[in-house]
Structure 1
Amino acid sequence: MTARWKSRAAGRPHTVRAVATGLLLAFTVGGVFLSRAVAQEEPLALWPGLVLSAVACAALLRRRGHPLAVLLVTTACVMAEGFLGYLLTPLLMGPMLVAQYTVSLRPDRRTSWYSALAAAAGIALTGFVVTDSHEWIIGLVNPAAWVLMVASFGSYVRVRREYAVARAEHAAQEREEEARRRVIQERMRIARELHDVVAHHLALANAQAGTAAHLARTRPDQAIAMIEKLPEVTASALRELKATVGLLRQDTDAQELAPAPGLAQLPQLVATCASAGLDVSVTRAGRTRPLPPGLDLTAYRIVQEALTNVTKHAATSSARVRLDYTPDDLTLTITDEAGTRPAAAAGLPDHNRDPSRSRSRGGGYGLLGMRERALSVGGTFHAGPRPEGGFEVTCTLPLPSSEDSTS
């Protein structure tokens, strides 16, 4: 019922304003008759009080556009009624109090309080002139206190409204900041995916093409074998790139996109690395368990990027991948040992090795992307040279509990 009446009132503002003014006029007229009834001396003139009350209430219809002028008119009407001998009760002062409340809602606080003090002073002056000294509390202090009390209440309502507006603006600003952060995080996630896909496959293709070009004259059979495996690497790169970019298209059918890779694709990753001359061994410890899709993708990308760094920077022909499963977490360890790659052993140039950074591997985004992936799922990450030589990447990813996985 309340909501329905509110909707009706919102749809008929002029009707609501007229009804409210009529009710206020009825209360003001009641104040006129009350003052006339309690008059101790000769009966008060009725028609002047009714006319002044009607003028004050009619002026309230323009209070939203001209609040100060309406307050002046209503104050003058109340002061005139006081000089005519009417008792300045809250009923009789109703139009003036409503006008004062409207002025107190204005954002100009100084004007609001100056107007309230002026109205209170006018009412107090009226009471001082027409009231005996032993009745000053009723005829002077009480009416002025009503004016100041209404002004204080209006100021309180104005402050509450300003606070609500400020909170709404702050909430909107926070929503914008959160949306901006989400966009930045999404851009970083897409950048990591593209970097992992492109860097891994291009590094392998570059290694195969460089070695095949060098072996073309001395060992054509091996060169042809490497060149024949190049389409597999490029086709895999195109598939993953299409799946990653396809996620950005809203009109792409989810059935057309390849599923996100995971640790189940490690054999294909090992085979791809083998085609580039890197022998990768994978060992598992503990009870293997399925991972959530997001965590599975994170683990796969970390292993992929670590092996890509081995292919690009390390002078070695082998790498080891170890997966340690515990009830609480999964630890990934990717290790390469210092040594000589096959091409270097045969006196061939290594097109992928950069001696200036082969041991540091900190100049690009590979280590940074792996660290961000691990931290995004609440894991830990460490990468650095081994005391006995080579490089090692260690990452610990928290696993969901058995209750969470079953639910």
Structure 2
Amino acid sequence: MDVSTVWRDWLARHDRVRDALPAAPLIGVVVAATAVGDSSWHEPHWREGVWAGLSCLPLVFRSRWPLPVALVTVASGLTLMALAPGSAMAPAAGLVALYTLAVLGSRRTAWTVGVAAAAAIAGVHAATHAESLVGGSALVQFDFAIAATALGRAVRNRRDHLAEARARVERAESMQEEEARRRVTEERVRIARDLHDVVAHHITLVNAQAGVAHHLMRRNPDQAFEALAHIKENSRAALDELRATVGLLRQPDDAPGTRAPIPRLADLDALAGGLRAGGLAVHLSRTGTPAPQAPATELTAYRIVQEALTNTHKHASATRATVHLDYGPHTLRVTVTDDGRPGGGRPGGAPAGSGGHGLIGMRERAAAIGGTVTAGPQPDGGFQVVADLPLTLAPAAA
């Protein structure tokens, strides 16, 4: 740290010393000016030096009370000009106070006091020197006071602009940090939903198929072997989807080939086949003209169907479920219906009282891309989940 920085920091902690700094050179200049005669040096006029010192004394408090100090120093300078007409440095302390008022005070106050002080200084100078008010030396005195005020306002404007620029930078940094935190939270919620869907679906299937294999192991080993094969396939699929989901947490420079593809609507047949092997008859149907969809729409539709069928198989006493995809001009309607008994469970979420997050996750997924999800029991029994998803996403949703 250099000497100038240490000096500035020290002055910043000692306001009175900083405010009094201009007084010493001003008093010295006044005393030296009174010692200069027409042709030679002579003893200084100490009375004028003492008066100059008294007029500079209020400068010690110029940053605390800028307006009173300005009025006092200008008045004392005018008095010194009247008592010693030859003192050219009489208004010097008042000029410092006017500069301080312009830096610290409001613009209106600074210019009002500055113009009034300039007129008073010019008037007293003209009266004591028997000159015209618009004469050369009187006009110079007027210009000095105006220049002190203008310089103070320029410094104040520069400080305000710098403070505003710093505030803008801080706001921008704060907004960037908040946006980063928001994105991290959204990504965390999305990954949690993916993990919930993958684990809940495949573990449910593995559990059901393991029960079938255990039941048939002794009586029908061939069917038990087939159930074990389904367990192997579902566990492998679960690992692939977990790898794809956890792959979102990899670093950007990781090899993309290590990640599994994201599920799409074309994978619904494989999803239904796994559930059929677990004992739930699933029927898929499509109406309308399939149109290109945004990848987020396909993934959302797949996850909603997966979650609904998983909870149908896990919580509802259902033997059959239907999945219907209706392609409209701008939306894709996904309908999942089962034949579970009333009150037997809820395919859109965990059973009553379990505190599951299935239906909440479906609605969050749909809302994230601008869609909606409704779910509820049917009048003739069973449960139905309906999701309306946009085929194309707005920029914000994308």
**Which segments of 5 or more consecutive residues in structure 2 lack a partner in the other structure?**
1-36, 42-61, 64-72
Q: CA deviation at 1:118?
A: 10
Separation of aligned partners in 1, 2:39 and 2:327: 97
Question: What residue in structure 2 maps to residue 286 of structure 1?
Answer: 288
- 1:209-288 mapped onto 2 (5 Å cutoff): 209-217=210-218, 220-250=221-251, 251-288=253-290
Q: Give the aligned partner of residue 30 of structure 1.
A: none
Partner of 1:379: 371
1:99 deviates by: 11
User: What is the CA–CA distance in structure 2 between the aligned matches of 1:45 and 1:187, rounded to whole Å?
Assistant: 87
- Residues of 2 paired with 1:199 and 1:185: CA distance? 21
Q: Larger relative CO (CA 8 A, sep 6+): 1 or 2? A: 1
- Pairwise CA distance, 1:221: 4.6
Quick one: distance in 1 between partners of 2:40 and 2:256?
A: 82
| 1:300 aligned partner, one-letter code | Y
1:119 and 1:212, CA in 2 relative to 1: closer, same or farther beyond 3 A?
same
- Alignment partner, residue 168 of structure 1: 169
Q: Within 5 A, what are the aligned runs for 1:7-46?
A: none
Cα 1:287/1:119, change in 2 over 3 Å: closer
Cα distance in 2, alignment partners of residues 244 and 287 from structure 1: 31
CA distance in structure 2 between the partners assigned to 1:117 and 1:151 by the alignment = 14
Q: CA deviation at 1:158?
A: 2.4
Mapping 1:392-407, distance limit 5 Å: 392-400=384-392
**Aligned-pair CA distance for 1:275:** 1.4
The structure 2 residue matched to 1:131, chosen from 126, 132, 152, is 126
Deviation at 1:364, TM superposition (A): 1.2
Matches within 5 A, 1:308-323: 308-323=310-325
Deviation at 1:228, TM superposition (A): 2.7
Query: Shift in Å at residue 223 of structure 1?
Result: 3.4
Shift in CA distance, 389/135, structure 1 to aligned 2, threshold 3 Å: farther
Segments of structure 1 that go 5 or more residues without pairing to the other structure are 1-43, 49-67, 70-74, 341-351
The alignment's C-alpha RMSD in Å is: 4.7
Instruction: Please report how far the alpha carbon of residue 122 of structure 1 lies from its aligned counterpart in structure 2 after TM superposition.
Output: 8.6
Q: 1:99 to 1:122 in 2, by over 3 A?
A: closer
Tell me if the contact between 2:118 and 2:143 (Cα under 8 Å) persists in the aligned partners.
no
TM-score (norm 2): 0.65
Task: Say if 2:369 is the partner of 1:369.
Answer: no
2:25 is matched with which residue?
Answer: none
Distance in 2 between residues matched to 1:209 and 1:279, nearest whole Å: 18
Normalised by the length of structure 1, the TM-score is 0.64
Q: Give me the whole-angstrom Cα distance separating, in 2, the residues matched to 1:238 and 1:206.
A: 15
> Does structure 1 conserve the Cα–Cα contact (< 8 Å) formed by 2:335 and 2:386?
yes
* Distance (whole Å) between structure 2 residues aligned to residue 221 and residue 361 of structure 1: 39
| Residues 98 and 149 in structure 2, CA contact (< 8 A), matched pair in contact too | no
Provide Cα deviations, 1:291-335, integer angstroms capped at 9, x if missing partner.
222221111111111111111111011110000001111000001
Instruction: Mark the CA change 1:124 to 1:354 in structure 2 (over 3 Å): closer, same or farther.
Output: closer
Equivalent-residue separation in structure 2 for 1:278 and 1:46 (angstroms): 120
> Cα distance 1:226–1:97, how it changes in 2: closer, same or farther (>3 A)?
farther
8 Å CA contact retained: 1:102, 1:154: no
Question: What is the alpha-carbon distance in structure 2 between the residues aligned to residue 287 and residue 394 of structure 1?
Answer: 19
Report how far residue 240 of structure 1 moved: 1.1
Q: Does the aligned pair in 2 maintain the 1:377–1:397 contact within 8 Å?
A: yes
Q: Which of 319, 336, 339 is 1:337 aligned to?
A: 339
Residues 121-156 of structure 1, C-alpha deviations (whole Å, 9 max, x = no match): 997776465321885575566543443343334333
User: Is the Cα–Cα contact under 8 Å of residues 103 and 112 in structure 1 kept in the other structure?
Assistant: no
Q: Is the 8 A contact 1:100 1:116 kept in 2?
A: no
Which deviates further from its counterpart, 129-138 or 326-335?
129-138
Hey, what's the Cα distance between the residues in 1 that align with 2:307 and 2:353? 12
Report the counterpart of residue 49 of structure 2 in structure 1.
Answer: none
Give, in whole Å, the separation in 1 of the partners of 2:96 and 2:187.
Answer: 54
| Aligned positions, number | 319
